[in-house]
């Protein structure tokens, strides 16, 4: 976290300009298509430092055509959700972890530092302003999308001298149209999502734009998502935009929940961290951050040692894997009873919607 000596905007300086024409709230549509009435914008320049944060009516940005985020991808984003509990109270789920990840991405993108607690308080105020947009449903939520872009108005490739941090909000229903049905994954080692020394552990747009053609190839092969492999031994790394977990009896005959370690190519997911902490608290089986290769998965499947495999992320929360298509084989992954997946989903949603009191949530 930036300490108090880091030059930063302050939530106490927040200016709020309310819209005079609030929108009619439509039914929840496709993910990320309908936005709320307001947005948070905070400008930075090397000459002036951070300006006062501003909540203003939602609207288009005006950018210089040479803007460095458009030309060189000097940008990053975050994603988390506000949930309306059964008690009508709004909660954010572990948002400080997102602030922390955002600050790390900013450092990697050569964007200026900010005080994470101050940003979180500005976001909390934004959600408060648009609180009527948080759905009255425990199947839906309000997605919070902080974005940080270089707005350097010149074509020289350099550390930006101007930047814009903004936050927009969008209603979110179920991410997968097929709800919690098990997904099929296309595992082709010719694609690499991230590599050692790269930016795979940061949430930068470039990581996502360049993954799209693999996603469409997966769809061409009848799969819903890509299972991203890495290295000559085809290590399993992530699934689509989710972290990946394998619940199995490992090579030593132990029951284990395993997920790849944070070695620079894995996005440190908030849901991933929460699942690790939750299942370690249970103390019922080994919970490990370790490498898993496709060979290991294939032999475990042959020997019927695989219990479940699932992806995790804010958007879908937890998503069982039903099939992996790999080297011409359609590998069936057990998912019929999805015991672990359902138990984790219940425990996490109980926290998010306030049914289980927990200091993982921040009240809005
Ligand atoms: C590549 C990638 N992996 C994993 C995740 C899951 O992270 P989180 O649980 O913080 O949403 C995301 C989503 O942000 C992602 O983009």
Q: At 193, which CATH number?
A: 3.20.10.10
Does residue 77 sit within a domain? yes
How many Cβ atoms from other residues are within 10 Å of residue 290's Cβ? 13
- pLDDT tens figures, 238-253: 999 999 999 999 999 9
Domain that holds residue 317: 183-352
Q: Is the dihedral of CA 157, 163, 167, 170 positive or negative?
A: negative
**Which residue is it, tokens 């360049």?**
210
Burial of 228 (0-12, 13-18, 19+ CB in 10 A): buried
- Ligand 1 centroid distance, CA of 48 (Å): 34
Whole-number mean pLDDT of the chain? 95
Return d(Cα 108, Cα 102) in angstroms, integer.
Answer: 10
Pairing of strands 255-259, 242-249: antiparallel
Closest among 234, 240, 210, 212 to 319, alpha carbons compared: 240
Write down the pLDDT at residue 139.
86
Look up residue 19 and give its two tokens.
Answer: 């819209």
- Band (79; pLDDT cuts 50, 70, 90): very high
Of 173, 201, 229, which residue sits at a domain end? 173
Ligand 1 midpoint to CA 317 (Å): 10
In this structure, the number of other CB atoms found within 10 A of the CB of residue 220 comes to 9
How far away, in angstroms, is 238 Cα from ligand 1 center? 9
User: What pLDDT score was predicted for residue 60?
Assistant: 97
Q: Are the CB atoms for 102 and 167 separated by under 8 Å?
A: no
Ligand 1 atom at minimum distance from 200 CA? 1
- Tell me the C-alpha distance between 151 and 45, whole Å: 9
Distance, CA 222 to ligand 1 centroid (Å)?
23
User: CB 284: neighbour CB atoms within 10 A?
Assistant: 11
The 8 Å CB, 24+ separation contacts for 316-320 are 316/175, 316/176, 316/242, 317/271, 317/345, 317/348, 317/349, 318/271, 318/275, 318/344, 318/345, 318/348, 319/176, 319/180, 319/182, 319/183, 319/242, 320/180, 320/181, 320/182, 320/183
156 alpha carbon – ligand 1 mean position (Å): 31
Instruction: Give 176's pLDDT tier (boundaries 50, 70, 90).
Output: very low
CA-nearest residue for atom 16, ligand 1, is 241
Mean pLDDT across the stretch 119-143? 95
Number of helices and strands in the chain (H, E): 8, 19
CATH code where residue 145 lies: 3.30.470.10
Ligand 1 atom closest to 240 (CA): 1
Confidence of residue 286 (pLDDT cuts 50, 70, 90): very high
Question: What values do phi and psi take at 242, rounded to 5?
Answer: -130, 150
Which residue among 173, 206, 229 closes a domain?
A: 173
Are residues 21 and 152 located together in one domain of the fold? yes
* Ligand 1, pocket-test mutation among 267, 310, 311, most atoms within 8 A of CB: 267
CA distance 225 to 217: 9
Count Cβ atoms below 10 Å from residue 135 Cβ, excluding itself: 17
With bands split at pLDDT 50, 70 and 90, how would you rate the model's confidence at 337? confident
pLDDT of 175 over the 60 cut:
no
Cα 280 to middle of ligand 1, angstroms: 20
Pocket of ligand 1 (CB under 6 A): 79, 238, 241-243, 267, 269-272, 312-314
Contact criterion met (CB below 8 Å) for 67 and 162: no
Q: Which atom of ligand 1 is nearest to the CA of 243?
A: 4
pLDDT digits (tens, 9 = 90+) for 15-39: 999 999 999 988 888 889 999 999 9
If you search the block for the tokens 């590599």, which residue do you land on?
195
In sequence order, what are the residues at sequence separation of 6 or more whose Cβ sits closer than 8 angstroms to the Cβ of residue 292?
235, 236, 246, 258, 260
Nearest CA to ligand 1 atom 4: 242
Same domain (yes/no): 320, 213: yes
Q: Where does a domain end: 173, 200, 215?
A: 173
Residue nearest atom 15 of ligand 1, based on CA coordinates: 241
**Tally of structural domains, the chain:** 2
Q: What pTM was estimated for this model as a whole?
A: 0.95
Residues 301 and 162 in one domain: no
Region 154-165: mean pLDDT is 96
Please enumerate in sequence order all residues whose Cβ is within 8 A of that of 219, keeping only pairs 6 or more positions apart, or say none: none
Identify which of 166, 170, 89, 165 has the alpha carbon closest to the alpha carbon of residue 130: 170
Ligand 1 atom nearest to CA at 267: 3
Q: How far is the CA of 313 from the centre of ligand 1 (A)?
A: 5
């Amino acid at each position: 976290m930036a300490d108090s000596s880091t030059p930063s905007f302050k939530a106490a300086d927040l200016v709020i300009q309310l819209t005079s024409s609030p929108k009619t709230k439509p039914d929840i549509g496709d993910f990320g298509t309908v936005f709320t009435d307001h947005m948070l914008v905070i400008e930075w320049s090397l000459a002036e430092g951070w300006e006062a944060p501003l909540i203003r009516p939602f609207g288009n940005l005006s950018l210089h055509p040479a803007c460095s985020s458009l030309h060189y991808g000097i940008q990053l984003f975050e994603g988390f959700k506000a949930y309306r509990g059964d008690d009508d109270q709004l909660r954010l789920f572990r948002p400080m972890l997102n602030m922390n990840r955002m600050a790390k991405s900013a450092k990697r993108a050569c964007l200026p530092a900010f005080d994470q607690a101050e940003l979180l308080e500005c976001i909390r105020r934004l959600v408060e302003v648009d609180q009527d947009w948080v759905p009255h449903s425990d199947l839906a939520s309000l997605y919070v999308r902080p974005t940080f872009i270089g707005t350097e108005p010149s074509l020289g490739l350099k550390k930006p001298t101007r930047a814009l941090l903004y936050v927009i909000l969008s209603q979110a229903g179920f991410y997968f149209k097929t709800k919690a049905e098990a997904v099929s994954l296309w595992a082709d080692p010719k694609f690499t999502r991230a590599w050692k020394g790269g930016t795979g552990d940061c949430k930068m747009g470039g990581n996502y734009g360049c993954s799209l053609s693999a996603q469409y190839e997966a769809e061409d092969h009848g799969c819903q998502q890509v299972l991203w492999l890495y290295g000559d031994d085809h290590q399993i790394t992530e699934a689509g935009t989710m972290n990946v977990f394998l619940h199995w009896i490992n090579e030593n005959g132990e029951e284990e929940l395993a997920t790849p370690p944070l070695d620079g190519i894995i996005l440190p997911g908030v849901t991933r961290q929460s699942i690790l902490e939750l299942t370690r608290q249970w103390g019922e089986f080994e919970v490990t951050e370790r490498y898993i290769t496709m060979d290991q998965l294939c032999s475990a499947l042959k020997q019927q040692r695989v219990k479940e495999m699932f992806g995790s992320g804010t958007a879908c929360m937890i998503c069982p894997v039903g099939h992996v298509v790999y080297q011409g084989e359609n590998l069936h992954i057990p998912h019929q009873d999805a015991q672990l997946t359902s138990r984790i989903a219940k425990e996490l949603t109980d926290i998010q919607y306030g049914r289980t009191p927990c200091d993982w949530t921040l009240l809005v």
